Structure 1
Amino acid sequence: MQARMGLLLFTLCCGVALAAAAGVAEQKDSRTTGDPAEKRMDRYRAVQIRVCLQLAEDEECDTFACLKNMTCDVEDDLNEICLDYMQTATNLDSHGKQFTKDILKCSALGIKSRFSSSNTSCRALQRMLISVQAECYRLHNICPVTETNLEHLVNMIDLHKLLFNAAYVEYVRGLFDCGEKVIAAIRSHLQVQLGPTLEIFRHLWQQSCTRESTTPATVSVDINITDETIQRGNWK
């Protein structure tokens, strides 16, 4: 239970970073909507993307590469996670390979059916990508695949990508529902990447749970994390 709470806190931290990035994207939308030249360029590129999507194969990463021509940088870089899926699939068993094929095809078809060349704002595209991913992870359960492919699936989680690519957040959310064994494996994997920083996350989570029943004076004392605590780096 503690592991799940800690990971949820970590995801919240990722969400804050992604929300900030989304704010930047929204500002970019507001800056460009009043410029006729920018509007014409957006429409032109949107038509190019539509043609690219029509020609792209439903499997592998062609569909996601089409979105690289957008005028804005969306936080869901599906092409990046697709390439990771394809690389990881070489080490998966037959069940894992089939899941990879299904999840990528589902995402590709979802994007093709929902992409609109008349609405290419960063916010609209971001909402569409999040919706497609969430739906595909609901339709194709990743949990049975973890029973025999856990190590390879967990190794797909990279801290930098998790912070700056929302597609990996959706991926980790899907793994969260697969039981304590999977959560423990993710925790161990992140510990290697984060080291002592996880102790700080754990401590902050504990403080957030007890803050309402603790006086401000006590909180002021409790949040002083010692060097010994940080160096210990143990999350028990």
Structure 2
Amino acid sequence: APMSPPFIISAEIQHCLVNAGDVGCGMFECFNNNSCEIRGLHEICMTFLHNAGKFDSQGKSFIKDALKCMAHGLRHKFSCVSRKCLAVKDMVFQLQRDCYIKHNLCSAVRENINVMVEMIHFQDLFPKGPHVELVNILLGCGEEVRAAIVRRIRGQCEQNWGALCSSLSLCSLGQAASTTLTTTLPGGGAESLAPAAWALPEAAELRQSWNVTRRR
């Protein structure tokens, strides 16, 4: 089926944002099931709410304030960005970073490392999206948090690819706040979060492999 023109997608998302409630994850669901889908926003919101009871008071405050910041920002900023999908995604990822940093994600996570790490799932990191943004911010939250994230990702990677995952390198790019997971895909495109220095299958193939492995 042909893709809908950008202005139609823009109108659909705008209508959804205006009508979504201020509480819960409905606002983030507006970016599902359209040709400018931003996979992961709704899932992250649901995961935070599902696990909120496991966080301490500071963690609970972060979840409430960060999700509110995101929802408010999406509603007010969407109409101001270009109708091009790339511009929409850039806006969403920048808003995600701003809200997490504004409401002290790192401070909240340091006291709730185990809960936060349990929310990270290797298969969610493909293709690049909100889960990657979240992990990249977490990697700048100090050595203890970073080490826990690395162990989690490497451990889940090894369930699928074994020793190949020992190549997983989480290198600091300058200051801690700029620490990111670097990516190499066939063709040299930096599209998805992945171990640096070796090529991975396409994201769809990777997800299929992950699902087959989990069903065994």
Q: Is 161-170 or 47-56 further displaced after alignment?
A: 47-56
Amino acid at match of 1:65: E
Matches within 5 A, 1:101-116: 101-116=64-79
Amino acid at match of 1:161: D
Q: RMSD over aligned Cα, in angstroms?
A: 2.6
CA contact (8 A) 1:45 1:69 kept: no
Would you say 1:95 and 2:58 are equivalent positions? yes
- Going from structure 1 to structure 2, the CA distance change for 1:188 and 1:120 (only over 3 Å counts) comes to same
Would you say 1:199 and 2:199 are equivalent positions? no
Aligned residues: 167
**TM-score relative to the length of structure 1:** 0.62
**TM-score relative to the length of structure 2:** 0.67
SS at match of 1:50: helix
Larger radius of gyration: 1
Match of 2:135 among 158, 163, 172: 172
Equivalents in 2 of 1:176, 1:120: separation in Å? 32
SS at match of 1:57: coil
Matches within 5 A, 1:57-68: 57-68=21-32
Superposed CA offset, 1:197-222 (max 9, x none):
332235x98xxxxxxxxxxxxxxxxx
Higher helix content, 1 or 2: 1
Higher relative contact order (CA closer than 8 Å, sequence separation 6+): 1
Residue aligning to 1:81: 44
Equivalents in 2 of 1:165, 1:80: separation in Å? 14
Q: Which runs of 5+ in 1 are unaligned?
A: 1-30, 33-37, 206-222, 224-236
Equivalents in 1 of 2:126, 2:81: separation in Å? 30
CA contact (8 A) 2:28 2:42 kept: yes
Q: Which runs of 5+ in 2 are unaligned?
A: 172-196, 198-216
